[in-house]
Amino acid sequence: MSKKDFEAFLKKQASADMRDKAIDWDREKQDWLRRIDEFYGTVQEWLKEYVNDGKVQIRFESTILNEEHIGSYETKKLYLRMASQEVGFSPIGTL
């Protein structure tokens, strides 16, 4: 790596660092948690008839996610039980 390449690399890293500092990570986390809740609400609405008939059971489980810029935070997983089958929805992170 030449000196010029190294200087370009450092400049690129500094630029990325400034961009990361400009992002409001707490707001990103709150938006993400809201979208998770909205999605789960939509799934529950779609399945409401089946839940009311006892054909589908819904349960939630707390989980902790850890992201580089956001840190650790709690959210939830959604599980759907249909007869002997279970399907899980697990958020993996904001990005």
Quick check: 33 and 67 in contact, CB under 8 A? no
Q: 82 forms bridges with which residues in the sheet?
A: 56, 85
CA dist list (Å): 51 to 8, 40, 60, 79, 80: 58, 14, 14, 13, 10
Quick check: 91 and 66 in contact, CB under 8 A? no
Distance in angstroms (rounded) separating the CA atoms of residues 94 and 30: 10
Q: State pTM to two decimals.
A: 0.74
**Tens-of-pLDDT digits for all 95 residues of the chain?**
788 888 888 888 777 666 666 788 899 999 999 999 999 999 999 999 999 999 999 999 999 999 988 999 999 999 999 999 999 999 998 86
